[in-house]
Amino acid sequence: MRALDKKLVRDIRRLWAQSLAIAAVLAVGVMIMVMAFGTQRSLTETRDTYYERSRMADIWSGAQRAPKSLLPEIAAIEGVARVEARISQFAILDIPGMDDPAMGQLLSVPAGGVPEMNVPVLREGRFPEMGKENEVMLALAFAEAHGFGPGDSFAITLNGQKREVVVTGVALSPEFIYTIGPGSIMPDDQRFGVMWMAEDVLAAAFNLSGAFNSITLGVTRGTDLAPVKDALENILKPYGGTGPYDREQQVSNAFIQGELDQLDVMARVVPPIFLVVSAFLVNMVLGRLITLEREQIGLLKALGYGDAEIVWHYLKLSLGIGAIGVLIGWGAGYVLSSVMANIYVEYFKFPYLVFMQRPSVYAIGAAAGLFSAMLGALLSVRRIARLSPAVAMSPPAPTRFRRGIFDRLITFFRPRQPTMMILRSIGRWPVRAALTSFGISLSAAIIVAGLFMFDSFDELIDIAFVQANRQDAILDFAIPRPESVLDDIENLPGVMVAEGALTMPARLYHEHYSRTIAVEGYREGNRLVRVFDGNERVDVKPEHGIVLAERLADHLQVRTGDMIEVEFLQVDDTRHKVIVTGTVSQFFGLSAYMDNDNLAALTGRAPQMLMANVVIDEAFEKELYQAIKDAPAISGITLLSQVRRGFDETIKESAGITLTVYTFLAALIAIGVVYNSARIQLSERARELASLRILGFTRGEVSYILLGELFILTIVAIPLGLWIGYGMAAAMIESFKSDLYALPLIVTDKTYWRAALVVAGASLASALIVRRRIDRMDLVSVMKTRE
């Protein structure tokens, strides 16, 4: 082994603790990159494979009642490869052992026995058979939530007729990978499920023989969807068409795509932080190692070693550290991507997992990790080439004295001698101090960026379930009802207050922008559901115009006072000019609101309602639930208390895991920076500190001189890190925005305190480890002069 290689081995052995700390930080960056991209690739491949094998539809549309004679005309649309008409309805379910009613979405199974598109994957049992009025097949999530299997039974109300049904099978559907019911924001498998019944049974129950109210289309590869959707809308318009939408707007697919986008953000934002810190640590360690080995470098040059050989020697040290970090990151990333992919498969109810890894991600991770180590090393070793042997073997020139701000502070405050030494050390090397403080600040930023979402969720829950929606439950009707039905609702046992609301599918136009949404009509005097601005925390009245969600207004490029056109899809082609009377910040969906009387006037119909918001007396809950199960007009119920409880439980389950993970990551950065800084300072100043001990300074005073600088830099780093973390949170909020949801940017004092305490604790732990070395310092050996 060459002499320099032997020296390299000794250096790695001597610096093993510092090298391992750097490698661990670098490994986390590589690990997160491999895990996030690996999980994203596996989830994407699993989704796409599932869609292809089950012939997932490309376009969906609803209608009130359209004849099947339209199917040849729809199939003739250019680019359409498959067409399937079906029946889709909601119904109240009476589940044995469950007091409150559940709700089911019923889909028809065609006469052929298996749908042409969105083909369910059987897990057990069989499909319902034609003519069997009491057969139903359940989605897996709902079946598991209630322990149902083939042969089990429960009651269902179909268009006012209650009947007992028997489960024939359990299946998964690509259309309902992520299943949420109307009015909900999270899956509730106890109270909402998807199920299939024979087409002739549903047609007879809902008076849809020879007709359909839902249609799905498959198109040929490369087909532009916009013309197909326009043609389909024109065909269904006379039959109450609700407006076509594609996979991008399909709820289940949109939620899955949102998860994929979040994984992409994680893979692109978090790893660079760790790689930058790694480069900084390598630069710090090698820079100070070179300073300590200045005489050795001069001696090597005097013995005939060239600049390239010496530079390559130190670069190999950094590459060795980088290689260790990359290998650890690869292994941990692979394992975690497999674990995460399986968790997603279980959560989203995929029938299988297509686990795939991108070799390019491993290559990019290795290149990024090694580059960050090399970059840190190059910033240090570039000084070697400029040193001649004589200069290198001479002691370095003393630091040039300049009276700066710290010297003025010393003069003004007249601190004790140890504090004076700390301040002068910071003042002599301000760049080094600033970089150390910045490295520590990134650990605080990681925690703020990781935990702010829980603060945002708390705000979201308060606005969505306390400020804007004050009802206990939402009752849905299969068809629009006159407002007089509210009297019947209020006569139900336990109903204290009932208010009606109407939603109508519409398309909004402004200049060349358009958007298809549901316009919500309500009475100005309603108290249970408010058009509430989440930012300003005030009510916004539609009055004689329309109120838009801010994200919807941004899509249409309109502001308050602008005029837009509204076309009600289930009425006619007329475009009504309506003024925008306000915009509101909302977190779920793209909403538009009008006064119910104005809405009725524009549509030429008497005021109607499709749902009733109610306040319930808890003492009569059981009686009310039984009445709802028996009520023929009610097709669904959403219990807001259950929605909120499910949301809270989901957040609490993930909060502990997230807190642990981000605390570990932040502590790793803080320990890596503080420990390496302290160890290197101890190496640099060991002779100075030993001299102080001999002169009578206590161990505590010597430790204070060495570690006090790091404590000051940590105190400066914490507020800087909180500010950086807030900026990262704001960037993440923008990246998460979609048509389905948006989060408010809220960071509470609790999150800031958590971040500060984790950084302070990790820094203190690192300092205590180094403090032990100070206490064990051999004064005699340190004071020996190397000849």
Nearest CA among 588, 610, 613 for reference residue 473:
613
Closest CA to 550 of 512, 521, 588: 588
pLDDT, tens only, 535-553:
777 888 888 899 998 888 8
**DSSP classification of residue 398:** P
Q: Which of 127-136, 444-453, 548-557 has the lowest mean pLDDT?
A: 444-453
pLDDT of residue 785: 47
Domains and CATH numbers, the chain: 1-53+247-397 (no CATH), 88-204 (no CATH), 429-469+640-787 (no CATH), 495-616 (2.40.70)
Query: What percent of the chain has a predicted confidence (pLDDT) above 70?
Result: 89
Least confident of 177-191, 197-211, 273-287, 434-448: 273-287
pLDDT for the residue numbered 8 = 77
473-482 and 608-616 as β-strands: parallel, antiparallel, unpaired? antiparallel
Of residues 637 and 225, the one with the higher pLDDT is 225
Based on C-alpha coordinates, what's the Rg of the chain? 34
pLDDT at 539: 81
**Is the pLDDT confidence value at 507 over 50?**
yes
Residues 450, 429: Cα–Cα separation, whole Å: 33
- pLDDT tops 70 at residue 577: yes
Reported as a single tens digit per residue, the pLDDT across 59-103 is 999 998 999 999 999 999 999 999 999 999 999 898 988 888 889
Amino acid letter, 116: E
Other C-beta atoms lying within 10 Å of the C-beta of residue 352: 12
pLDDT greater than 70 at residue 718: yes
Round to whole Å and give the CA distance between 753 and 487.
Answer: 52
pLDDT category at 652 given cuts 50, 70, 90 is: low
Task: Give the integer Cα–Cα distance in Å for 744 and 239.
Answer: 40
Query: Confidence band (pLDDT; 50, 70, 90) for 781?
Result: low
Which range, 138-142, 440-444, 532-536, 667-671, is most confident?
Answer: 138-142
Per-residue pLDDT for 396 more than 90?
A: no
CA distance linking residue 281 with residue 472, whole number of Å = 56
- Contact between 709 and 427 (Cβ < 8 Å): no
**Using the 8-state DSSP alphabet, how is residue 76 labeled?**
T
Q: How confident is the model at residue 787 (pLDDT cuts 50, 70, 90)?
A: very low
Compute the distance between CA of residue 181 and CA of residue 234 in angstroms, rounded to an integer. Answer: 29
pLDDT for 387 beyond 70? no
Q: Which pLDDT belongs to residue 106?
A: 94
Q: What is the pLDDT of residue 359?
A: 86
Neighbours of 397 (CB within 10 A): 7
Question: How far apart are alpha carbons 181 and 170 in whole angstroms?
Answer: 19
Q: Is beta strand 576-584 parallel, antiparallel or unpaired with respect to 546-549?
A: parallel
Cβ partners under 8 Å of residue 94, min gap 6: 101, 102, 154, 155, 156, 157, 162, 629
- Are residues 434 and 741 in contact, defined by beta-carbon separation less than 8 angstroms? no
Residues in contact with 769: Cβ distance below 8 Å, sequence separation at least 6, in sequence order:
675
Residue 272, pLDDT above cutoff 50: yes
The answer to whether residue 719 scores a pLDDT higher than 90 is yes
| Token pair for 735 | 């990246």
Residues 599 and 750: beta-carbon distance below 8 Å:
no
The string of DSSP codes covering 164-218 is: EEEEEEEEE-GGGSS---TT-SS--TTTEEEEEEEHHHHHHHTT-TTEEEEEEEE
Instruction: Measure Cα distances from 293 to 211, 332, 381 in Å.
Output: 87, 35, 12
pLDDT at 279 > cutoff 90 = no
Give the pLDDT of residue 509: 92
Q: Give, in order, the Cα–Cα distances in Å from 536 to each of 467, 540, 559.
A: 12, 10, 16
Q: What percent of the chain has pLDDT over 90?
A: 23
Which pLDDT value is given to residue 404?
60
Model pLDDT, residue 33: 86
| Secondary structure class of 274 (helix, strand, coil) | helix
pLDDT per position as a tens digit, 208-226: 999 999 999 999 998 999 9
* CA-based end-to-end distance of the chain: 27
pLDDT of residue 386: 67
Task: Name the band, by pLDDT with cuts 50, 70 and 90, for residue 46.
Answer: very high
Mean pLDDT of the chain: 83
> What is the predicted pLDDT for the residue at 407?
63
Q: What is the pLDDT of residues 407-431, one digit of tens each?
A: 666 666 666 767 777 777 777 777 7
> Measured on CA atoms in the order 55, 61, 62, 65, is the torsion positive or negative?
negative
Q: Find out whether 584 and 550 touch, Cβ atoms under 8 Å.
A: yes
Statement: residue 377 has pLDDT above 80: no
Residue 280 has pLDDT above 80, yes or no: no
What is the average pLDDT across 247-255?
88
pLDDT at position 782 = 56
Regarding predicted confidence, which is higher, 512 or 774? 512
Q: Give me the pLDDT at residue 236, please.
A: 92
pLDDT bin (cut points 50, 70, 90) of residue 629 is: confident
Q: What own/partner pairs with CB < 8 Å and gap ≥ 24 does 436-439 have?
A: 436/284, 436/673, 436/677, 436/710, 436/713, 437/713, 437/714, 437/716, 437/717, 437/720, 438/280, 438/717, 438/720, 439/277, 439/280, 439/281, 439/669, 439/672, 439/673, 439/717
**Of the candidates 534, 647, 629, the residue with the CA atom closest to the CA atom of residue 184:** 647
Give the pLDDT confidence of 27-36 residue by residue, as tens digits. Answer: 888 888 888 8
- Residue 266: strand, helix, or coil: helix
